[in-house]
Chains A and B, each alone.
Chain A
């Protein structure tokens, strides 16, 4: 328990300590990473701890994003109120989807969540008038402020993202140590047994899903406010696959796995699209004489390869494998 608190404390302290030393570029990156890591942390609660693989989490992220951004854009709400609204939208979405989707298990659950998310994405496109569809809309810098704090300022933005992530991380750590968390893990291991020990699995799964959705929604709303943009692409399938990838890479069922996975994947893709892919493209063209017009932008290729390799060779992810082999107390 103490070790767990220390560990999480050190991580957060490190993130605080990094702030003054980072360049402008990495500042923005890390802020983005932390918001997305909050999303992944939410996903981890459902996938890593409860064992439910959702393929539609983008709908909760987008619910938060649009719930917040639309209130600012159309109703001129303040950032604080709009953020809460974003979370409420994600909460409602989580409850509705949970009540329906949790009647299925395994593959059925995966497909149902995928379908709901797809319907959500299409709905955003349908109401193009208000949402501007795929193109999305920006939120003016002047509006993005809480009281005196200008959220578009890189330092303020960094700490806002850090606050969001820290809260999600602490919540996730607390859940894992709690009695409810123990039940969730047991459900992942053997749901039938849990029922025969007197727990109602449905109730616990719904709790996990709703909590996961609210975290995702908070991340979505934060993203809109901190980066000033809302677009339908955040509701599309890739944004449901990303948290799965990040959590798988970092280690499902570990509190710090999501952060690790998000950081690694972000920089891998960044480096790849900036350096590796264009380099590879010109290499292929000069050495083999094959035209590869799209290679430079095919960074999703890495996502695909990473997923396949992870699932084949390292389904426990980095921290998960570390926990299994070396550090059994890792939360």
Chain B
């Protein structure tokens, strides 16, 4: 528990969103609403093939090229790389392309309308090379030993961005258990790519001057990521690379790594043209050219006792990373750690790998690897139940992690964990047992088959392992000349409520009204680096730093003879300012002393804390039209202190909606690595008419690590819907689908040919070492 609090005044209430008025008035300014004097517009010429050497570039004669600025890789003053975790990702292709829609050159012109035909007039000739588009094709190319077919890296890294082996228990004992267990149950589970589909496309405006260096403003999550990328591309020190976040119309991870690309591009055009340059993608370009959720394949092999106890497990987890490494190693890491679900494993080996293909690089998307591996374990738990003749509930109850237990990484669960209670309550809230029995009675007489399914899961909040220590985040609170506190952070607002909750935390701690707290626009020239706005870390980690900085501010006022308690905060602040001129308090992240993480062995405290959840889906499958509809949804989660009930519920509802889309609607259709359905017309996300009632239930067990006990919740709701829905569809139809998205054509296939694509016969376990190929 944090320090004992008197009754909270502001935390736990739902004040209006800080920037909400501007949003409902339509006066909030997004990047495409801005124009700078003398501004030009930029566009990108992209590859039309997946993997090739560029033979020639020809500029068509119909275009007055002297009016345009053209930037190629040769114009890059620094390194031709977009730095993420490594430097394999070029800013602009130089002689070689590795995926369709890869940026090759950039154009700028004062008239936006003049760009389209100029892009079309650039003719590029290629010498095409063999390409791979799936995990299996990448594995096969690797196995062939033919260096021509290796699309990334060499030696042990050939076609492989990253591998992990995570082991719990004793491998020798596990081998013995697999020989003698009552059952060995195997399964393979797959998830597709998913587009973030923020309604505001990626966009930036860049400026350049010799004196000030580069300035990029735009919609983005992580201002300092873009600063670091610009430093390398322009060979400039960080203080000459300024990044300003504008109002951001949705992100979901899609504006975590990608703004470094578009930001660098616009800045190169600005430098060469001598004008500010705006690049705002249209929808088709954004969908084809920017990152998506990693497709995955997970294979489970599990030894279980007759009564449903997990005895030993092997999990092979593979991600398709696309053409460059970008964030794949860390997406893989989170997926690996979540692969074991909220269960106790006496012995477990997880082998994980992120493979290279010639798709555009996959990147961050809410959940960050966890939705993929949790989909697999939660489908597999239902398979175990069905194989053993137990209920999904029984199998989970036998294996849940609990207070004092250890996760698969060996993390001791010191905070209270009560999955048994969460499951009991979620099943009661949703009427699970009553409905399940009723549907079992009614389904034989109806062409609409109804079903109930659930998923139990957890999501680690904050950066993995030693990540928060490395980030070393800093938060400041300064006094404005009027004596109002202003929060200075690089943490960004993109709908999830950063501005509001951080101001609530500061107001609560300072003992002043919520409306009296200000938060500055993230501008790297002004705000300290409080880390990226990702990984469900803002409420918990940054919020806690705001709380500490606010305490520090009170302390500084008191020490100077202006105790804020006496005549109110404003009075004290004005008194201090009159004497000293300015005041700024700060707080820097300190790793808790009880957190230890071994990056090599993948052992230790993977996350400061976890949020725990049980989600229950009710579905209806129409056996005439082969459509599956979610008809009711209950989301129960334990998330520590809920800082703002309305925003928190909004996060859960929105995440569940994206999860329903992930399960039943959203499919990326790839044609030789190019996204063929790169439009909202044929990439289908849920509309208001498609979604069920979503009932959100919170349990609050405050954690020591978060602001007023808050845990991160942003990603959590993405994890549970897909497995809960497919579990419900299995209950409704008796067919165990193992792959998402599950579209009507897949349902048709599965329901008319039981062993068809995307499904499998529910035969009793067929043991056998058919996977577990040696890992590099």
Q: Do A and B bind each other?
A: no
